[in-house]
C-alpha cells in the first residue's frame, strides 16, 4: 500500500528514467551508413577510392620518392640541372627551391644583409601572434605596433646604427607581401569603420562623401587603381617631387581594402537591433561612447567571418602589385625561374609559394573560427 | 488601501512639476500620433498610462527622453526644456531612466558591466564605486548572485529586473517604463511588478505604460487613458476603472477585462 502511494507521488511507472536511444557511432558505423549503404553507393565509394589512392601514390612518387633535392655544381660554379631535366615528369626538382629559396623569400635585397628581411618577417609574425592573444588587448598594444613597425622600417632601410642603406627598389619577396598586407589592413580597417559609420550619419555631407568613396572604389578593379597610383599619380605631382612607388601602391591598397571592409562593417551595424541604440541613448551615452562601447563591439563580432574572408582576400591580392613592378613574394618566385637552367621548374616554385600563402591564410581562418566561437559562447538570445 | 495612501503621500504637489508637456504634437510622416497632449507630472508622482495598442503611449514616453522628437508644443523635464541643444539633452537623459518592453540589455557585457557602464562613462564614477553601487541595486532587485553572468543566460523576468537596476544605477530622478511586463511569461510578471512596487515605495517619479490593473490600483496616483494620440480621460485609479466617463474608456476596459 505504502509503495503505491509513494509511486503515485512520483511519475507514472512507464515514464521513469529511460535512457536516450543509442546511436551507432565511430568511424566504422559512420562509413557503413554513409559509404556502403547499398550496392551503387558501395560501387561509387570503391571507384572514387581507387582513383584517390592512385593519384595520391603518384603524387608521393613525384614529390618525394623520385624527387631531386640538390644538384651538383658545374666547373663554372653554376648549378648543373641535368639531373632535374632527366627526372622531369617523374620526379620533382626541389633543388630549385634549395638553390633559390633566399632569392624567392627576399628578392634582390643585398645577399649579405638577408638577416635583416628575415628578422623583419619574424617580427611581423611575432606581432601577429601577440596581437592575437586576448591578454594583450590593451591600449599598450598600439605602442607595440608603432615600435615594431618603426623597427621594421629601420631594418629594411638601414642607413642608421651602422646598417648599410638599402633603397626601396631593392626590397623584395616575403617582406614586401607582409608590409603591404599588414600596413594595408592596419590602416584600412579603422578607415572602414569610420566610413561605415559615416554612411549611416545623419549629416548629409558626411554621408555623401562616404557613399561616393565606397561606390567609386568598388567600381574599379584593384589593378587599375594600382596603375593609377604608379603611372598617373606622379604626373600630378610638382616636378622633382617623387613619392616612393611602394608607398603609392600601399595607399591604393588601403583605399581599396577600406571600401570593401566598410561594407562588411556596415552590414554588422545594420544587423544590430534598434533597441541597442535606444538603450544606449536612454542611458545618456554620447555618440562616440555608444559607438565604441555598445555598437561596434557587437557589430564587429557579428561580421567576423566575412571580415576575415576579406582579410584573406586582400592578403592574396597584394600579389597584384607585380604588374607595377614591385617585387613581392609572387614576383620573386616568377623571377627565380627566369634563368635558363631553372626554366621549366615553375610547378615546384608555385607549390612552394602556394604553401607559404596557405600557411598565413589558414592561420587567419583558424584564428577567426576560434574567436567567433569564444565571442558567441554566451549569445543565446 | 492603506498602502496606496502611504504611497501617494510622497507626491509633492507644491514643487514645480518633474515633467510638463504642453500641447505636444507629433507626426510620423502623415500619421498624427500625438494630438495636443498636455500632462504635468509632479515630483514623486506615479502615473500609469494605458490605452489600446497604437494609441501613442510609447511615443509619448519616448518623447520625454527624446528617443523621439516632438514637432510642436513644449516638453520640460526637471526644469530643462527639450530642444536641439545637446547639453540639455545629456542633462535630461542623465536624470531620466528608461525600461523597455524588450529589456534591451547589452548582450556582450555581463550583468555587472551592464549596470556599471553608464555610471562609469557618463557620470565618471570610479570603477570600484560603480560596482558597489551596481551590487546594491542588483541586491535590491534580488539578483546579486547573477552579476557575473551574461544577459542571454537569464530568464526574461530576471533580465527585466537587471534592466531596472541598470537604469537605477544612474540614480535618475524620473523612471519611464514602456510595457515592462508585456514580453514576459505569466509566471515572471509578478517578480517584475514587485520590483516596481518596491521602487514606487522609494518616492521615485514614475511614468509607466502598462495594462496591469492590479499594479495601477496599488501604486498609481493617477491613471491616464490615451486613445488615438489623445489623452481621453485621467484620474485616480478607482475613478478610472470603476467609473469611466467616456465610451472609449468603457470599451477599452471591457476588452482588457475580457482578455484577462
Ligand atoms: N518609428 C515609427 N515610424 C512610423 N510610425 C510609427 C513609428 N513608431 C510608431 N509608429 C506608429 O505610431 C502609432 C503609435 O505608436 P506607439 O506609440 O508605439 O503606440 P502604443 O505604444 O500605444 O502601442 C502607431 O500607429 C505606430 O504604428
Ligand atoms: Mg507601445
ipTM: 0.91
For chain A, list residues whose CB is within 8 angstroms of any CB belonging to chain B.
273, 275-276, 278-286, 289, 293-294, 297-298, 301, 375, 378-381
B155-181 average pLDDT score: 94
Contact across the interface for A281 and B166, Cβ inside 8 Å = no
Q: How many angstroms separate the alpha carbon of residue B68 from the centre of ligand 1?
A: 11
A283 contact residues in B (CB cutoff 8 A): 93, 117-118, 122, 166-167, 170
Q: Whose CA is nearest to atom 10 of ligand 1?
A: B28
Distance from CA of A268 to the nearest CA of B (A): 14
Is pLDDT of B85 > 90?
Answer: no
B14-21 average pLDDT score: 85
Residue with cell 501613442: B56
Out of B54, B71, B102, mutate this one to test ligand 1's pocket (max ligand atoms within 8 Å of CB): namely: B54
Distance from CA of A294 to the nearest CA of B (A): 7
pLDDT of B5 reads 45
Count how many residues are written for chain B.
Answer: 260
> What is the rounded CA–CA span in Å between residue A323 and residue A266?
32
Q: How does pLDDT run across B111-157, given as a tens digit for each residue?
A: 999 999 999 999 999 999 999 999 999 999 999 999 999 999 999 99
B33 in ligand 1 pocket by Cβ < 6 Å? yes
For chain B, list residues whose CB is within 8 angstroms of any CB belonging to chain A.
65, 67, 90, 93-94, 96-98, 100, 102, 104-108, 117-118, 121-122, 149-153, 166-167, 170
Query: A324: which 3 cell numbers?
Result: 607595377
B79 in ligand 1 pocket by Cβ < 6 Å? no
What are the CB-based long-range contacts (under 8 Å, 24+) for B130-139? B130/B169, B133/B169, B133/B171, B134/B165, B134/B169, B137/B165, B137/B168, B137/B169, B138/B111, B138/B112, B138/B162, B138/B165
Averaged confidence pLDDT in chain B: 90
pLDDT of A13 reads 57
pLDDT of A66 reads 81
B71-77 average pLDDT score: 93
> What is the rounded CA–CA span in Å between residue A100 and residue A339?
11
Most confident of A42-46, A173-177, B127-131: B127-131
pLDDT of B136 reads 94
Q: Are B66 and B143 in contact (CB under 8 A)?
A: no
| Top-confidence residue, B259 or B109 | B109
Q: Which atom of ligand 1 is nearest to the CA of B62?
A: 17
Q: How does pLDDT run across A264-318, given as a tens digit for each residue?
A: 999 999 999 999 999 999 999 999 999 999 999 999 988 988 999 999 999 988 8
B56-71 average pLDDT score: 93
Contact across the interface for B118 and A293, Cβ inside 8 Å = no
Under 8 Å CB pairs connecting chains A and B tally to 69
Q: Are A83 and A98 in contact (CB under 8 A)?
A: no
Tell how strand B174-178 and strand B96-99 pair up. parallel
Q: How does pLDDT run across A305-329, given as a tens digit for each residue?
A: 899 999 999 998 888 888 888 888 8
Q: Whose CA is nearest to atom 7 of ligand 1?
A: B28
A301 contact residues in B (CB cutoff 8 A): 108
Residue A263 CB coordination number (10 Å): 17
Q: Whose CA is nearest to atom 21 of ligand 1?
A: B58
Residue A276 to residues A192, A268, A283, B134: CA-CA distances in angstroms? 22, 13, 11, 20
Task: Give the neighbor-by-neighbor strand order of the sheet with B174-178.
Answer: B96-99, B174-178, B205-209, B46-50, B222-227, B230-235
Q: Are B57 and B77 in contact (CB under 8 A)?
A: no
pLDDT-derived band of residue A98, with 50, 70 and 90 as boundaries?
confident
> What is the rounded CA–CA span in Å between residue A293 and residue A285?
9
B78 contact residues in A (CB cutoff 8 A): none
pLDDT of A198 reads 95
Q: How does pLDDT run across A327-362, given as a tens digit for each residue?
A: 888 888 888 888 888 888 888 889 999 999 999 999
pLDDT-derived band of residue B6, with 50, 70 and 90 as boundaries?
very low
Q: How many angstroms separate the alpha carbon of residue B189 from the centre of ligand 1?
A: 24
Is pLDDT of A12 > 70?
Answer: no
pLDDT of B3 reads 44
Out of B24, B27, B33, mutate this one to test ligand 1's pocket (max ligand atoms within 8 Å of CB): namely: B33
For residue B115, count CB atoms less than 10 angstroms from its CB and return exposed for 0-12, middle for 13-18, buried for 19 or more: buried
Q: How does pLDDT run across B216-248, given as a tens digit for each residue?
A: 999 999 999 999 999 999 999 999 999 999 999
Is pLDDT of B189 > 60?
Answer: yes
Is pLDDT of B9 > 90?
Answer: no
Q: How many angstroms separate the alpha carbon of residue A145 from the centre of ligand 2?
A: 49
pLDDT of A240 reads 63
Distance from CA of B103 to the nearest CA of A (A): 8
Averaged confidence pLDDT in chain A: 86
Least distant ligand from the CA of B54: 1
Biggest CA-to-CA distance, chain A: 108
B58 in ligand 1 pocket by Cβ < 6 Å? yes
pLDDT-derived band of residue A90, with 50, 70 and 90 as boundaries?
confident
pLDDT of A343 reads 82
For residue B175, count CB atoms less than 10 angstroms from its CB and return exposed for 0-12, middle for 13-18, buried for 19 or more: buried
pLDDT of B15 reads 72
pLDDT of A96 reads 82
Q: Whose CA is nearest to atom 17 of ligand 1?
A: B56
**3-state secondary structure at position B123:** coil
Nearest to A98 by CA among A117, A79, A119, A77: A79
Domains assigned to chain A: 20-65 (no CATH), 107-375 (1.10.3720.10)
pLDDT of B2 reads 43
Contact across the interface for A276 and B93, Cβ inside 8 Å = no
pLDDT of B4 reads 44
Query: A103: which 3 cell numbers?
Result: 632569392
Q: Which residue of B has its CA nearest to A302?
A: B108
Q: How does pLDDT run across A15-33, given as a tens digit for each residue?
A: 667 777 777 678 888 888 8
Please name the residues in contact with A86: beta carbons below 8 A apart, sequence gap of 6 or more: none
Least distant ligand from the CA of B53: 1
Q: Which residues on neighbouring strands pair with residue B27, listed in sequence order?
A: B32
Nearest to A275 among B93, B102, B118 (CB): B102
Q: Which atom of ligand 1 is nearest to the CA of B52?
A: 22
B170 contact residues in A (CB cutoff 8 A): 283-284
B249-256 average pLDDT score: 90
DSSP B84: S
Question: How open is the CA angle A53-A59-A63, to the nearest 5 degrees?
Answer: 150
Is pLDDT of A9 > 90?
Answer: no
pLDDT-derived band of residue A83, with 50, 70 and 90 as boundaries?
confident
Q: How many angstroms separate the alpha carbon of residue B229 from the centre of ligand 2?
A: 12
**3-state secondary structure at position B234:** strand
Q: Whose CA is nearest to atom 12 of ligand 1?
A: B33
Measure CA A109 to chain center: 24
pLDDT of B231 reads 94
Amino acid at each position: 500500500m505504502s509503495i503505491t502511494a509513494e509511486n503515485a507521488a512520483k511519475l507514472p511507472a512507464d515514464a521513469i528514467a529511460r535512457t536516450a536511444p543509442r546511436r551507432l557511432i565511430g568511424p566504422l558505423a559512420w562509413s557503413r551508413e554513409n559509404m556502403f549503404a547499398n550496392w551503387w553507393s558501395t560501387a561509387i565509394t570503391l571507384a572514387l577510392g581507387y582513383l584517390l589512392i592512385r593519384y595520391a601514390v603518384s603524387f608521393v612518387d613525384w614529390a618525394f620518392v623520385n624527387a631531386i633535392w640538390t644538384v651538383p655544381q658545374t666547373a663554372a660554379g653554376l648549378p648543373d640541372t641535368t639531373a632535374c631535366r632527366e627526372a622531369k615528369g617523374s620526379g620533382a626538382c626541389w633543388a630549385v627551391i634549395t638553390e633559390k629559396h633566399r632569392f624567392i623569400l627576399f628578392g634582390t635585397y643585398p645577399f649579405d644583409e638577408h638577416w635583416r628581411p628575415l628578422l623583419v618577417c619574424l617580427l611581423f609574425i611575432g606581432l601577429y601572434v601577440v596581437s592575437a592573444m586576448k591578454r594583450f588587448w590593451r591600449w599598450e598594444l598600439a605602442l607595440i605596433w608603432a615600435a615594431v613597425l618603426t623597427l621594421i622600417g629601420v631594418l629594411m632601410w638601414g642607413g642608421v646604427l651602422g646598417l648599410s642603406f638599402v633603397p626601396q627598389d631593392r626590397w623584395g619577396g616575403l617582406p614586401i607581401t607582409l608590409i603591404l598586407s599588414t600596413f594595408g589592413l592596419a590602416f584600412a580597417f579603422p578607415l572602414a569603420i569610420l566610413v561605415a559609420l559615416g554612411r549611416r550619419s545623419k549629416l548629409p555631407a558626411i554621408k555623401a562623401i562616404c557613399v561616393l568613396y565606397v561606390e567609386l572604389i568598388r567600381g574599379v578593379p584593384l589593378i587599375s587603381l594600382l596603375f593609377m597610383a604608379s603611372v598617373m599619380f606622379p604626373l600630378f605631382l610638382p616636378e622633382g617631387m617623387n613619392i616612393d612607388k611602394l608607398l603609392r601602391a600601399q595607399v591604393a591598397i588601403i583605399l581599396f581594402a577600406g571600401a570593401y571592409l566598410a561594407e562588411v562593417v556596415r552590414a554588422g551595424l545594420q544587423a544590430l537591433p534598434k533597441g541597442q541604440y535606444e538603450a544606449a541613448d536612454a542611458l545618456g551615452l554620447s555618440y562616440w561612447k555608444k559607438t565604441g562601447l555598445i555598437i561596434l563591439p557587437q557589430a564587429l563580432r557579428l561580421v567576423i567571418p566575412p571580415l576575415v574572408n576579406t582579410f584573406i582576400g586582400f592578403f592574396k591580392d597584394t600579389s597584384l602589385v607585380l604588374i607595377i613592378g614591385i617585387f613581392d613574394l609572387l614576383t620573386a618566385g616568377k623571377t627565380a625561374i627566369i634563368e635558363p637552367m631553372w626554366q621549366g621548374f615553375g610547378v615546384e616554385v608555385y607549390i612552394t609559394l602556394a604553401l607559404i600563402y596557405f600557411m598565413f591564410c589558414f592561420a587567419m581562418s583558424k584564428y577567426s573560427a576560434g574567436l567567433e566561437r569564444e565571442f558567441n559562447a554566451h549569445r543565446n538570445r | 488601501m492603506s498602502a496606496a495612501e502611504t504611497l501617494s503621500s510622497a507626491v509633492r504637489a507644491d514643487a514645480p512639476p518633474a515633467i510638463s508637456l504642453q500641447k505636444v504634437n507629433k507626426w510620423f510622416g502623415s500619421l498624427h500620433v500625438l494630438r495636443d497632449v498636455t500632462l504635468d507630472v509632479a515630483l514623486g508622482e506615479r502615473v500609469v498610462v494605458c490605452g489600446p495598442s497604437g494609441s501613442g503611449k510609447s511615443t509619448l514616453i519616448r518623447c520625454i527622453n527624446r528617443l523621439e522628437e516632438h514637432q510642436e508644443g513644449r516638453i520640460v523635464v526637471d526644469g530643462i526644456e527639450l530642444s536641439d541643444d545637446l547639453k540639455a539633452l545629456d542633462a535630461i537623459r542623465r536624470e531620466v531612466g528608461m525600461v523597455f518592453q524588450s529589456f534591451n540589455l547589452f548582450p556582450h557585457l555581463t550583468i555587472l558591466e551592464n549596470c556599471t557602464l553608464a555610471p562609469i562613462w557618463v557620470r565618471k564614477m570610479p570603477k570600484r564605486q560603480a560596482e558597489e553601487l551596481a551590487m546594491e541595486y542588483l541586491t535590491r532587485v534580488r539578483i546579486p548572485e547573477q552579476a557575473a553572468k551574461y544577459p542571454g543566460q537569464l530568464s526574461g523576468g530576471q533580465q527585466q529586473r537587471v534592466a531596472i537596476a541598470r537604469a537605477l544605477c544612474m540614480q535618475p530622478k524620473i523612471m519611464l517604463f514602456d510595457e515592462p511586463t508585456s514580453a514576459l511569461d505569466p509566471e515572471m510578471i509578478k517578480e517584475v511588478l514587485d520590483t516596481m512596487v518596491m521602487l514606487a515605495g522609494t518616492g521615485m517619479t514614475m511614468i509607466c505604460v502598462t495594462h496591469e490593473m492590479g499594479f495601477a490600483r496599488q501604486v498609481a496616483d493617477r491613471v491616464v487613458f490615451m486613445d488615438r494620440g489623445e489623452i481621453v480621460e485621467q484620474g485616480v485609479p478607482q475613478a478610472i476603472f470603476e467609473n469611466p466617463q467616456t465610451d472609449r474608456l468603457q470599451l477599452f476596459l471591457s476588452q482588457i477585462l475580457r482578455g484577462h
